[in-house]
Amino acid sequence: KRQVKNAEQIIKWSFNYESLIRRLENQLLKWVNNCDWTQYKIIGFSVCFHQLFASLAAARAIKNKASQVPIVFGGSSCSAGAGQSLLNAFPFIDFIIEGEGEERLLALCDYISGLRSSTLPENIFTRKSGSQGALQRKSLSVTKQLASLGDLPVPDYNDYFATQKQWFSHTPFIPVLPIEFSRGCCWNKCTFCNLNIQWCGYRYKKAAQVMHEVKTLVARHSCLDFTFVDNMLPATESRHFFKMTTEDHSDFNFFAEIRSAKGKVPLGDIFSIYRRGGLSTVQIGIESLSSCLLHKMQKGISVIQNLATMREAQENSLSLEGNLILHFPGSTQ
């Protein structure tokens, strides 16, 4: 006990916030100064979850080195009013893309290069020249998105692996690659969630397409570890997918976010299929073990369903991660 206590004191005494900030800033500037940013025609940041402040720091440092290169921000943290406020508050941001990014980013690249279009594509913010930061906003169209995720190609991670090999060639490395099964949320009613405001509706790929992507990435990068970036897996297609990975007999390892729900197929059977197919860790939107709080959050889930989900995960040897939301508005002690 004395050793543990002394270790805690050492950790507490050795932590210095200002020193940590200086080290982070020095590392950032070292990275920025080692790259010729003027070689690029556009520099983009995809911003979600906890990425905003780091992206702002990097964007400002890059702009100081290459003021003429346009910087664009996009992602869920830039949707709705947040995107406009970012553009107003931070002059080193040149464009904000609102909504789904692929087609809009392609159109913005064409616009900057002077190809195809001489006008700014819709759902993109910028500043009018000479208007002291006033926003120019094209008409919004939340339905202007990919009609089908089946049109998406297999993700290209070659640059990532090339950079890793260049800088860390002698470092043991087990990659975990992100893959995408779906976009949006079929429930989309939780009062605390803003993860789906850049999308309209819930779309997902067929199991065969996701399996093709996984097999392609395995062959390309010798990688067996994957993390699904979905807010929730599509119920039926994900079962088909994990049956395919079971039959493949490869030593796959997957992480995914799922939703506590009571459906036609028993949850224990679903988790059994997931686990045999290589899903090892799940993050479940537990949020609370209080009925009144779940009701206020509009989760559509009961406490007993949350408990049943946790139990079934344990019984099927699934490592379970989850969140409990504290101090939710209207909650009591």
pLDDT value at 229 more than 90: yes
pLDDT computed for residue 130 by the predictor: 33
pLDDT computed for residue 30 by the predictor: 94
Contacts of 319 (CB under 8 A, 6+ apart): 280, 281, 282, 313
- Mean pLDDT value across residues 234-257: 96
pLDDT computed for residue 195 by the predictor: 81
Q: What is the pLDDT of residues 71-112, one digit of tens each?
A: 999 988 888 788 889 999 999 999 999 888 888 898 899 888
DSSP states of 208-239 as a string?
Answer: HHHHHHHHHHHHHH---EEEE--SS--HHHHH
Q: What is the pTM of this model?
A: 0.83
Percent of the chain with pLDDT over 90: 61
Nearest to 99 by CA among 71, 119, 75: 75
pLDDT value at 70 more than 90: yes
- Mean pLDDT value across residues 196-224: 93
pLDDT computed for residue 91 by the predictor: 94
Give the residue, 153 or 147, on which the prediction is more confident: 153
